[in-house]
Structure 1
């Protein structure tokens, strides 16, 4: 995992993310069980009721191949940062009105952040090329 985090930091340069603690990742893994009915992660992850979430951090919202996103999410200019993922997990309708996700989280900000830490273990999207 440390190698993955270091590679991510090199790819992101000045946008590098602070490495989550193993306790935070473990907590996020347990909490992700609430998400696993709709979302998949890891090798061989596939879209289900929701899109697969490998390399979601840094990815443009509504861009995972093969998933039928809501028009609202596809039309958004959102790129999934850790902060807006946490906000989306906590209240998806507030972040992107009209999206398809209907999860009443009742999660604290810390719990949502732990899930995002767990998702980071499954990769971070490469930044767009600089021009």
Structure 2
């Protein structure tokens, strides 16, 4: 007997629905501002703890993670395990497809404005 599994690519529209859970704390888009959490504009490629005007924990400021897809995937599955001491209270997203979709959605804001802390 042969079984096949459906393989689905990243889907930004589906990721927007996943992002609904993030919206309470994080903003994206041209008018995004820091809230309970920092804006997620331009997330991929930036270093953790670097959005200007956001009060990060020392753990986030000193983690020195560069946000790429593998790092974000590990983080969003269990934020407190990836950055012990983070103030992010989200328990984690365990569904790999939902994570891929969320990443696709966040990539739509790669060039949206964000001000970073200069070293």
Q: Smaller-chain TM-score range?
A: 0.7 to 0.9
Q: How does 1:53-72 map to 2 (within 5 A)?
A: 53-72=40-59
* Contact residue 41 and residue 110 of structure 2 kept, 8 A: yes
Q: 1:82 aligns with which of 69, 85, 95?
A: 69
Unaligned runs of 5+ residues in structure 1 are: 1-20, 126-131
Per-residue CA deviations over 1:65-103 (Å, capped at 9, x if unaligned) read 110011001011200011111111110011111111110
Unaligned runs of 5+ residues in structure 2 are: 1-7, 113-119
For residues 56 and 96 of structure 2, what CA distance do their matches in structure 1 show?
Answer: 25
Q: Alignment length, in residue pairs?
A: 105
Which structure ranks higher in relative contact order (CA pairs < 8 Å, sequence separation ≥ 6)? 2
Q: How does 1:41-120 map to 2 (within 5 A)?
A: 41-120=28-107
Secondary structure, aligned partner of 1:72: helix
- Find the counterpart in structure 1 of residue 116 from structure 2: none
For residues 35 and 82 of structure 1, what CA distance do their matches in structure 2 show?
Answer: 17
Q: Tell me the C-alpha RMSD between the 2 structures.
A: 1.9
For residues 58 and 10 of structure 2, what CA distance do their matches in structure 1 show?
Answer: 37
Deviation at residue 109 of structure 1 after TM alignment: 1.8
TM-score (structure 2 length as normaliser): 0.81
Instruction: Pick the structure with greater CA Rg.
Output: 2
